[in-house]
Structure 1
Amino acid sequence: MQASAPQAGAGALSLSDAALDQLFASDLPVGLAVLDGELRYRRINHMLSAFNGVPPEQALGRSVSEVLPEAWPQLEPLLRRVLEAGEPLLGFEVLLEVPSRPGELSQWEASYLPIPDGAGNVQGVLVQAVNMSLQQDAERQLRTSAARLRRVLDSLFAFVGVLDVNGIVLEANRAPLEAAGISFEEVHGRPFWEAYWWSYDPAMQHWLREAVRIAAQGQVVRQDVVVRVRDDARITIDFMLAPMLDDEGRVQHLVPSGIDVSDRVAGERALRASEARFRSVFEAAPDGMTLVDEQGRMLLANRAMGRLFGSEAGELLGSRIDRLVPAADRPAHADHIRSYFADAQPRLMGKRKRLQGLRADGSLFNIEVGLNPIPGSEPPEVLATVVDIDDRLAAQAQLERALKEKTALLNEVHHRVKNNLQIVSSLLRLQSRHVDEPVRAVLRESQSRVKAMALTHQLLYERSDFSALELGPYLHRLAALLREAYMEPGKDIAMQLDLPGEGLSISLQAAVPCGLIVNELVTNALKHAFTQRSQGLIRVRAARDAQGWFEIEVADDGLGMKALPDHDQCATLGYQLIPLLADQLEARLALVEGPGTCIRIQFRQPGSAA
């Protein structure tokens, strides 16, 4: 902290309480405070409170050391000098840290004046202070604000200026100056009506003088006027002269502004062209279209709308749209309109409301209605598109009938295939009664394979879905059939089935080879895995991973095998079939290491991406 040397004055200040009240109530740009003999604040104006950064109610009654602890070491000797010597310190400068600017030094200019009592003794100090740093910041901000305002004005395409109440030009933005090819100096300080823009026509100048007089009285003047621009050209602008009022409602300045009407005219021309295009499309549309307000009145209707309902389009205008539905549906239709306008949203093609329409001759037909609110319309309006769907519904009904017929046919086909396979299975069973045991075993295996294929068609028939089969229930029922067919007397082989009830859908093309592979693996486990014991466990698991691969495992805790048999060298039909069926599925076969035997099959749905 550092301060310039204060200079002592010749005498003390003598002020009455009334004078102090008047002084502190005034709107001075100087900070004022009265300190008592103990250097406590007894009075402080809002300016000094703002300079210090401490509200008046927090300063009154407290000492300077409490209010300004960082500045106190510099201020104390100066204040005590005034108290003890009774001489003022005038116009000194000091650098202090105050709460309004913590962590930095502020430049102050101050005067300390002694306040004597009736006997001439100093009873306090009158402080006059200005925070020069805050004032400099305020001036910089004012200059910055003015520069920013100038940039904003100059960035406007509109013509904007500022006049005094007598019509003298004080400000003008860049747009009107560049349009006229003149500089600001050519208009600054001159009457507005004498500027280049108006000097071509005395009648226009007279009108502007009268406009200034009217605006100075607080009224707004607005009119389309012709102005002169660069190269003595003329344009028409939408001109307005508006008064600028102070806080007390007095006219301080006048603000002229103007917008080139040619842009507006171009916009109006574009709007008319757009309306013409809309009208052309609207009238040429093959579907019925009508513009409806929130009361349900038809404001516009195209020719197709008239044809749909057997009327001229003009006959529909102004009438309520519910005249186009049967009388019994009108109360509900009115409710639909009210609820729709309460939260109007586009109703897409797939969400169209289907109902019946009423023609002028009283006949009914099926229609579909699409709704699209008109953006920005006030009051709200909606464009309704009406389509006659009688032909479409007839075609749809015909397709549904054909689909039912084909479904019934496929159902019958699968039913008959299942029955035929069951007949084949029965024939094999009958044949096995009249042959030796080795042949009987072979026939029984063939019968098992036929049952696996028959089960596929049975499940398709039961579900009436011929595109896919749920693999979990299919393998569950297949495992039960195999256990029943191959379980030898005196043995207790348990089946553990880890199969989902749904969600594992497989195509018919893959279901048959998949079922036959599981049939061969479970049959082999039942026949050969437990030859040396009477109890055991066979586990069948099926799942699908995130990449879409099906994974089926058939495992047992029996004797086990070291490697998959070579199907070319294998004598049993089952192990010759398994690789062939796996090739048909494009599946991967693997023997999983562990106790017993575990064979894993991995494949993807036929036709899926690899």
Structure 2
Amino acid sequence: MNSVPRTIFRPIRGIVPRYGAAILLAGLATIVRFASDSMLPPGFPFLTFFPVVILSTFIAGRGPGVLCAILSGLSAWYWFIPPFHSFHADRPVLTALTFYAFVVAVDIALIDGLLRRQQQLVANQRQLSEMANHQTLLFKELQHRVANNLASISSMLRLQRRRIEREPGSALALVDSANARIELMGRVHRQLYDPAARQTALTDQIGQVVRQAQDVAGATHVAVTVEAVDARIAVDRMMTLMLLVTEVLTNSIKHAFAEGQPGQVHLTLSRIDEGRLRLTVADNGRGFIEEDQSSARTKGLGTTIIRGFASQLNGTLYVDGSNGVTTVVEFPEDLD
């Protein structure tokens, strides 16, 4: 995209310099009017004052332009409108002053409107440039994430294929499980890469993902509560985090409760210290014991996927199954 245009004039900064410039220009116009008085025919008292009013408005703004117009009008009235050296007011004088006031008011209004319009144009151009840069970055992130998601799906299907080779009778269930995971991954992907998601609080984003996971699993009997700090997480890592959340939650829904049994899952995302976060997902289900090597919760595909997502986050995974199941993942926060 083209570079952002500069303003027409770089205005004088600061109240004192701006209004000082207006006074200086009004004085300069008075001097020039005195110097050129002998060369001008009668009836042009404001001739040198109109340009300085316009210039003051351009370089210093509307307020200094008004001040310059007032001082110029008083100078012209006192020195160049008969009777000279007085503020005598009669109908011709008031008519001339009214005409002057109307002309400078129109000049100031037009110039001020032009400058404001141009400033708005610059602001809009800058915003469009930022949006274009953001869209370019988002597209690159999207490409990267799609590639990672396809790689994850490929790995998941390879694992399912191995299980089908070992247990041919489980093929239909495993295909349904893979289909549910892919559908959920697609939903999360659409949610996070929606432009509106940038303005959505992290707690609400996680809540939406949780509802989608419950919907896909048909788990209306499991109540899930969410608490999350306002963490800084890049979109790419956010996708991994959300997929981790859905996988842990799906694991709880599938294995923690008997079919139709009411249950509760509490999900928290807290800040351990500066630059490090802790995700905790705890259910009040049946749990498991470490010695249970045949447990689907400890050896299943879901657990393998959870470990993979935790690794992608550069995090550490801890699971406690002594009282329900509590899954804890600690990982770094994005500080940039």
TM score, norm. by length of structure 2? 0.52
Cα offset for 1:394? 6.8
Letter in 1 for 2:217: Y
Confirm whether residue 559 of structure 1 aligns to residue 286 of structure 2.
yes
- For residue 24 of structure 2, what is the aligned residue in structure 1? 298
Residues 557 and 320 from structure 1, CA distance in 2 versus in 1: closer, same or farther, beyond 3 angstroms? same
- For residue 73 of structure 2, what is the aligned residue in structure 1? none
Confirm whether residue 497 of structure 1 aligns to residue 228 of structure 2.
no
SS at match of 1:506: coil
Q: Spell out the pairing of 1:117-136 with structure 2 (5 A cutoff).
A: none
Confirm whether residue 477 of structure 1 aligns to residue 208 of structure 2.
yes
Distance in 2, matches of 1:300 and 1:336, equals 6
Distance in 2, matches of 1:550 and 1:478, equals 19
Letter in 1 for 2:245: V
Distance in 2, matches of 1:336 and 1:453, equals 66
Given that 1:551 and 1:603 are in contact with CA atoms closer than 8 Å, whether structure 2 keeps it comes out as: yes
Given that 1:322 and 1:334 are in contact with CA atoms closer than 8 Å, whether structure 2 keeps it comes out as: no
- For residue 174 of structure 2, what is the aligned residue in structure 1? 442
Given that 1:453 and 1:512 are in contact with CA atoms closer than 8 Å, whether structure 2 keeps it comes out as: no
Residues 446 and 322 from structure 1, CA distance in 2 versus in 1: closer, same or farther, beyond 3 angstroms? same
Deviations 1:180-236 (A, max 9, x none): xxxxxxxxxxxxxxxxxxxxxxxxxxxxxxxxxxxxxxxxxxxxxxxxxxxxxxxxx
Given that 2:231 and 2:333 are in contact with CA atoms closer than 8 Å, whether structure 1 keeps it comes out as: no
Residues 476 and 437 from structure 1, CA distance in 2 versus in 1: closer, same or farther, beyond 3 angstroms? farther
Confirm whether residue 602 of structure 1 aligns to residue 330 of structure 2.
yes
Higher radius of gyration, 1 or 2: 1
- For residue 142 of structure 1, what is the aligned residue in structure 2? none
Residues 442 and 463 from structure 1, CA distance in 2 versus in 1: closer, same or farther, beyond 3 angstroms? same
Residues 469 and 448 from structure 1, CA distance in 2 versus in 1: closer, same or farther, beyond 3 angstroms? farther
Q: Spell out the pairing of 1:135-174 with structure 2 (5 A cutoff).
A: none
Given that 2:210 and 2:224 are in contact with CA atoms closer than 8 Å, whether structure 1 keeps it comes out as: no
Distance in 2, matches of 1:363 and 1:397, equals 20
Residues 556 and 464 from structure 1, CA distance in 2 versus in 1: closer, same or farther, beyond 3 angstroms? closer
- For residue 269 of structure 2, what is the aligned residue in structure 1? 542
Distance in 2, matches of 1:564 and 1:515, equals 30
Confirm whether residue 486 of structure 1 aligns to residue 217 of structure 2.
yes
TM score, norm. by length of structure 1? 0.32
SS at match of 1:582: helix
Coordinate RMSD, CA, aligned: 5.3
Distance in 2, matches of 1:498 and 1:462, equals 21
In structure 1, the gaps of 5 or more residues are 1-285, 303-314, 339-357, 369-388, 429-435
The answer to which structure has the higher strand fraction is: 1
Cα offset for 1:460? 3.5
- For residue 590 of structure 1, what is the aligned residue in structure 2? 318
Confirm whether residue 577 of structure 1 aligns to residue 293 of structure 2.
no
Deviations 1:411-443 (A, max 9, x none): 8x97xx99xx9xxx9xx9xxxxxxx87223222
Letter in 2 for 1:596: G
- For residue 87 of structure 2, what is the aligned residue in structure 1? none
Taking only the aligned residue pairs, the percentage that are identical comes to 16
In structure 2, the gaps of 5 or more residues are 1-8, 29-46, 71-106, 158-167
Cα offset for 1:472? 2.0
Distance in 2, matches of 1:496 and 1:297, equals 69
Cα offset for 1:538? 2.2
Letter in 1 for 2:309: L
Deviations 1:290-346 (A, max 9, x none): 9666794116999xxxxxxxxxxxx999x96566338xx9679537999xxxxxxxx
Residues 394 and 472 from structure 1, CA distance in 2 versus in 1: closer, same or farther, beyond 3 angstroms? closer
Residues 464 and 294 from structure 1, CA distance in 2 versus in 1: closer, same or farther, beyond 3 angstroms? same
Distance in 1, matches of 2:271 and 2:69, equals 49
Q: Spell out the pairing of 1:391-540 with structure 2 (5 A cutoff).
A: 398-404=125-131, 438-464=170-196, 470-487=201-218, 493-500=221-228, 503-531=230-258, 534-540=261-267
Deviations 1:470-522 (A, max 9, x none): 4322322222233233347xxx732231234x834532121222122222222
Given that 1:456 and 1:474 are in contact with CA atoms closer than 8 Å, whether structure 2 keeps it comes out as: no
The answer to which structure has the higher helix fraction is: 2
Distance in 2, matches of 1:541 and 1:288, equals 51
Given that 1:493 and 1:538 are in contact with CA atoms closer than 8 Å, whether structure 2 keeps it comes out as: no
- For residue 92 of structure 2, what is the aligned residue in structure 1? none
Deviations 1:374-396 (A, max 9, x none): xxxxxxxxxxxxxxx97x98776
Distance in 2, matches of 1:583 and 1:513, equals 10
Given that 2:317 and 2:327 are in contact with CA atoms closer than 8 Å, whether structure 1 keeps it comes out as: yes
Residues 291 and 335 from structure 1, CA distance in 2 versus in 1: closer, same or farther, beyond 3 angstroms? closer
Distance in 2, matches of 1:444 and 1:590, equals 28
SS at match of 2:267: strand
Residues 510 and 452 from structure 1, CA distance in 2 versus in 1: closer, same or farther, beyond 3 angstroms? farther
Cα offset for 1:599? 1.0
SS at match of 1:595: coil
Given that 2:25 and 2:52 are in contact with CA atoms closer than 8 Å, whether structure 1 keeps it comes out as: no
Residue from 53, 61, 66 that aligns with 1:334: 66
Give the total of aligned pairs. Answer: 243
